[in-house]
Chains A and B, each alone.
Chain A
Amino acid sequence: MNAIANFQAASVEDLLSAAQRLRQGIPGDLHEHVVEAIYGDAARIADRAVTRPGAPARPAVDRTIDRIVTSRVWGFPIMLVLFTVVFWVTISGANVPSQMISSVLVDRLYPWLRETAASVGLPWWLRGVLIDGMYLATAWVVSVMLPPMAIFFPLFTLLEDLGYLPRVAFNLDNLFKKAGAHGKQSMSMMMGFGCNAAGVVATRIIDSPRERLLAIITNNFALCNGRWPTQVLMATVFIGCLAPSHLGGLTAAVAVTAVAALGVGMTFLVSWGLSRSVLRGEVSTFSLELPPYRPPRLWQTLYSSLIDRTIFVLWRAVVFALPAGAVIWLFANVRIGGVSLANYAIDWLNPVGVLLGLNGVILLAYIIAIPANEIVIPTVLMLTVMVTGMTGLGHGAGVMFDLRDEATLKTLLQAGGWTTLTAVNLMLFSLLHNPCSTTIYTIYKETGSRRWTVVASLLPLALGVVVCAAVAAVWRWLG
């Protein structure tokens, strides 16, 4: 056996050295010779098989549309308007179903569950962990996230099916090149708008390791599924109300678009900074194919975006919300010397929070929600409820404020010391902070490097701290 193996190894090395020797004798670039031969054959075969009886290469309509949506003048405005419309439809359409779900899950089911639990004689702490903690957190996640997602994802998928996303990539390509990054980064960024972990995996289409790292590190600046609801809710409650009521929804939509655009801006800025410091190198060229516009199949799109994205993301959120709910309840109810753990943590985090224009509750919520961004908002709300003592959770009263009334929500948050600055900075911080645990793990798997994983995790967080602190300082100085 060994002799055979040795013989094989020897013959392989012979083969490789022969290849090396022969390579020296080849004039020019072998790769080019081969490619030329392949292209020649492909052209010949295609020519024999394809006939186009007097038809243009591409239909005129396609080209006309492309000329407009990728034009220098109209490309960017059309992009912004389209995305604003998508957000606006999401924001104004999500209200009614949100109310309905919340009225069932929180107003009806929740008191009933508490009573039932009490009547079967569960001890108060078990009731607290199960119902006030786990159930309530999950009910929040579902009623806050399901409606916006059920509207946003199908709309986004329609844009995708139609073939608009590659046009966005085309518009952004030039900017990426100027930032020293690969044009294909716009594609992985688009995936990131759905899920950053998926976006990081999508960077595999980039050949050069340098440009791929840029794409991985900056992917977190694309707002993901888990963070859209935070943006939408904050914009609705705090920004929308700054405008006259009939313009509220639109104002909120513009605010969300602005944050998303800021994320894209950050992608360029950070790519630019890195490609001029630690990740210096050549920019690769590539050809971007603009696929034909295809009429989307409405029902299939609705179905697949509902199953693939909405239910998938919601399920993930619920899975994380269950244990998080228990943790939150325990945090708020385990007391040392008459003060709850949550209060200790919040008091301790508060000075930092205030410096950033946020507060201790929000920072604690971000720490609890590291496993999944989806539960930041429910966590913030639950902690606020418990800390401000607006309800007697754990003491039996248990009337949860309901989401139906934005004014109530606002009253609650204001009782927790919230201002417009808090909301604005929460939106900014939600854009600029460490990726979720899944994404961090994916980055580690894709780069295989601890160092770059740490960079990709902490760089956005550092940026978030700087930006929030700066906004808070300027805000207070002006105000």
Chain B
Amino acid sequence: MNTSASTSLSTTAAPPSKVCADCQVYRAARLKKLGVAVDKWDYIVALAGNPNTGKSTVFNALTGLRQHTGNWPGKTVTRAEGGFEYAGRRFKLVDLPGTYSLLSTSVDEQVARDFILFGRPDVTVIVVDATRLERNLNLALQVLEITDRAVVCVNLIDEARRHGVQVDDRQLARDLGVPAVPTSARHGEGLPALLEAVSEVASGRLICRPHRLAAEPPAIRDAVRELRARIQAAYPHLPNVRWLALRLLGGDEHIAEALRRGEFAGLETESRLEAADASDAQPQLTVP
């Protein structure tokens, strides 16, 4: 199973041969489930996605925890935390509440958005339902507006197959600009590839060029352009300038408050993504 993410070779201390790196058994053997024991971690990974796409199942599969899962939307409204060790690195995994968007004001959406924004996860895994890809991508695109370190986990791929739906994960990865890994977390399928992608993005070996909205809606183009310039002048290294501009234009008091408290100043990253933020940049995956 070659996803666009896993074709990039890992370059850890003892580089495995290509055959090894692509072998599921090898990669699964490098996973150590840590349960809730994550006091020292190297990377933080957030799990986001629509309700009932199997985030909690992915969470349980990776951490070995048994957070209650159920076949209905809205099972998780608070965040759950657990950990795992993969390829010698310790990851803290945070399961966020499932939401349909990040634009409204309900508590669960704020919990999710604030964590992706201010919790500064090293990777955000966006779990999408393969059988309802279009609706799930609405959220995925919103997440990609906020963060540039993400992996899309195309879950429930077994159900999609059963319904006669095929998802071209390589095409998806190309369009979204982040790794896309087909999985069936219930049956443990695809998890090794997911782990590999997460570890690549977390360590910075794989730099994402996330999709940003192709064209500004004409009605707001000028306003956004002006505000973006102002934000960029104040915070030259922010990874999500356009998103912030849109929130401020929309009069989001929560975000305005965060800005006043100076929380955005802490979000500036080393400038590896400035170029990608320009909306005309061609989204693509690059391996340094």
Q: Which residues of A contact B (CB under 8 A)?
A: 5, 8-9, 11-16, 18-20, 22-23, 25-28, 30-31, 33-39, 41-43, 45-59, 157, 160-163, 165-166, 169, 184, 187, 190, 201-202, 204-207, 289, 291-292, 294, 297, 303-304, 307-309
The yes or no answer to B2 lying at the interface (CB within 8 A) is no
A202: B residues at CB distance < 8 A: 74, 77
Residues of A within 8 A of B168 (CB): 48-51
Evaluate contact between B176 and A45: CB separation under 8 angstroms: yes
- Known A18-B226, A39-B138, A205-B77; judge A58-B249 contact (CB<8 A): no
Q: Which residues of A contact B74 (CB under 8 A)?
A: 184, 187, 202, 205
Instruction: Determine the distance from Cα of A442 to Cα of B249 in the docked complex, in whole angstroms.
Output: 36
- The smallest C-beta distance from B257 to any residue of chain A, in angstroms, reads 10
Taking CB as reference atom, which chain A residue is nearest B166? A51
Q: Is the CB of A297 within 8 A of B217?
A: no
Q: Closest CB of chain A to B32's CB: distance in Å?
A: 21
Q: How far is the CB of A23 from chain B (nearest CB, A)?
A: 5
A161 with B70: CB separation less than 8 A? yes
The distance in angstroms between the C-alpha atoms of A111 and B78, with both chains bound, is 47
Q: Pull 8 A–B residue pairs with CB atoms less than 8 Å apart, ordered by A.
A: A15-B227, A19-B249, A43-B134, A49-B168, A169-B72, A206-B106, A289-B51, A307-B66
Q: Main secondary structure on chain A at its contact with chain B?
A: helix
Select which of B68, B70, B103 is within 8 A of A35 by beta carbon: B103
Further contacts, 11 of them, CB under 8 A, given A23-B251, A27-B219, A294-B159: A11-B234, A12-B260, A19-B248, A22-B249, A33-B219, A41-B211, A45-B176, A48-B168, A55-B165, A205-B106, A289-B52
Q: Which residue of A lies closest to B73 (CB)?
A: A289
Is A38 in contact with B133, judged by CB distance below 8 angstroms? no
**Cβ B134 vs Cβ A42 within 8 A:** yes
Q: Tell whether A207 pairs with B105 under 8 Å between CB atoms, given A31-B250, A38-B142.
A: yes
- Neighbouring A residues of B166 by C-beta, 8 Å: 50-53
Q: When each residue 95-114 of chain B gets 1 if its CB lies under 8 Å from chain A and 0 otherwise, what string results?
A: 00100010111111001000
* Nearest-neighbor residue (CB-CB) of A157 within chain B: B70
In the bound complex, what is the Cα–Cα distance between A11 and B222 (angstroms)?
Answer: 21
Cα(A31)–Cα(B70), bound, Å: 32
Report the bound CA distance from A347 to B89 in whole Å: 66
Q: Is the CB of A207 within 8 A of B217?
A: no
B226 close to A46 (CB less than 8 A): no
**Residues of the B chain whose Cβ atoms lie less than 8 Å from the Cβ of A27:** 219
Is the CB–CB distance between B215 and A37 below 8 Å? Answer: yes
Find out whether the CB atom of A207 lies under 8 angstroms from the CB atom of B104: yes
Tell me, in angstroms, the Cα distance from A303 to B69 when the chains sit together: 12
A41 to B68, CA, bound (A): 34
Q: How far is the CA of A35 from the CA of B104 in the complex (A)?
A: 11
Write out the residue numbers on chain A whose beta carbons fall within 8 Å of the beta carbon of B15: none
Complex interface: chain A residues within 8 A of B167 (CB): 49-50
Contacts of A23 in B (CB 8 A): 223, 249-251
Instruction: List chain B residues, Cβ under 8 A from A308.
Output: 66, 68
Bound Cα distance from A58 to B160, whole angstroms? 10
Q: Which of B158-193 contact A (CB under 8 A)?
A: 159, 162-169, 171-172, 175-176, 186
B117 proximal to A (CB < 8 A): no
Q: Which residues of the other chain, B, contact A205 by a CB distance below 8 angstroms?
A: 74, 77, 97, 106, 108
Q: Would you call B259 and A12 a contact (CB within 8 A)?
A: yes
Q: How far is the CA of A169 from the CA of B74 in the complex (A)?
A: 12
Q: Chain A nearest CB: distance from B72 CB in Å?
A: 5
B262 contacts chain A at the CB level, 8 A cutoff = yes
Please tell me if the beta carbons of B103 and A34 are within 8 angstroms of each other in the complex.
Answer: yes
B227 near A22: Cβ-Cβ < 8 Å: yes
A308 to B67, CA, bound (A): 8
Q: A34-B103, A38-B142, A52-B165 are in contact. Are A201 and B77 (CB under 8 A)?
A: yes
- Beyond A11-B234, A27-B219, A55-B163, whether A38 also contacts B141 by CB under 8 A is yes
Docked-complex contact A207 and B72, CB < 8 angstroms: no
* Residue interface mask B121-154, A partner, CB < 8 A = 1: 0000000000101110110111000000000000
Which B residues fall within an 8 A CB radius of A? Answer: 51-52, 66, 68-74, 77-78, 97, 101, 103-108, 111, 131, 133-135, 137-138, 140-142, 159, 162-169, 171-172, 175-176, 186, 211, 213-217, 219-220, 222-223, 226-227, 230-231, 234, 245-246, 248-251, 256, 259-260, 262, 265
- In the complex the two chains form, is B108's CB within 8 Å of A204's CB? yes
Q: Which of A14, A50, A59, A163 has the most CB of B within 10 A?
A: A50
Closest A-chain residue to B133, C-beta based? A46
Contacts A161-B71, A163-B71, A289-B51 given; indicate if A15 touches B230 (C-beta within 8 A): yes
Residue from the list B131, B172, B231 in contact with A49, Cβ < 8 A: B172
A37 to B211, CA, bound (A): 13
Chain B residue with Cβ nearest A42:
B137
**CB-defined contacts of B105 to chain A, threshold 8 Å:** 207
Known: A51-B168, A201-B77, A289-B52. A36 touches B70 (CB 8 A): no
Known contacts A38-B141, A42-B137, A201-B78; A160 and B234 CB within 8 A of each other: no
Q: In whole angstroms, what is the CA distance A34 to B231 when docked?
A: 19
Measured in the bound complex, the distance between the Cα atoms of B258 and A16 in whole Å is: 12
Residues of A within 8 Å of B108, CB to CB, are 204-205
Interface centre among A15, A39, A57, A309 (most CB of B within 10 A): A15
A165 touches B77 (CB 8 A): no
Report whether A55 and B71 are in contact in the complex, using a CB–CB cutoff of 8 Å: no
Bound-state Cα–Cα, A291 to B211, Å: 28
Quick one: which of A48, A59, A160, A303 contacts B72, CB cutoff 8 A?
A: A160
Nearest Cβ in chain A — how far from B229, in angstroms? 10
Query: Which among A46, A56, A59 has the greatest number of chain B C-beta atoms within 10 A?
Result: A46
Known A49-B167, A206-B106; judge A41-B248 contact (CB<8 A). Answer: no
The 6 tightest CB contacts between A and B, nearest first, are A55-B164, A207-B106, A46-B134, A42-B137, A19-B248, A22-B223
Residues of A within 8 A of B163 (CB): 52, 55-59
The CA of A25 and the CA of B175, in the complex, are separated in Å by 33
Instruction: Give Cα A371 to B249, complex, Å.
Output: 49
* Complex Cα–Cα for A68 and B219 (A): 47
Query: Nearest residue in B to A31 (C-beta to C-beta)?
Result: B250
Contact B71 A42 (CB under 8 A): no
Expressed in whole angstroms, the Cα–Cα distance for A384 and B217 within the complex equals 74
Of the candidates B52, B171, B265, which one forms a contact with A48 in the assembled complex, judged by CB atoms under 8 Å apart?
B171
CB contact between B230 and one of A18, A39, A160 (< 8 Å): that residue? A18
Give the complex CA separation of A11 and B234 in angstroms: 7
**Distance in Å from the Cβ of A72 to the closest Cβ of chain B?**
22
Q: How far is the CA of A291 from the CA of B50 in the complex (A)?
A: 12
Is A28 a contact partner of B78 (Cβ separation < 8 A)?
no
Chain A residues with CB under 8 Å of B215's CB are: 37
Contact A34 B234 (CB under 8 A): no
Q: Nearest chain A CB to B189's CB is how many angstroms away? A: 14
Q: Say which residue of A292, A297, A304 sits within 8 Å of B66 (CB atoms).
A: A304
CA distance A54 to B164 in the complex (A): 8
> Which chain B residues lie closer than 8 Å to A28 at the CB level?
219
Which residues of chain A have C-beta atoms less than 8 A from B164's C-beta? 52-56
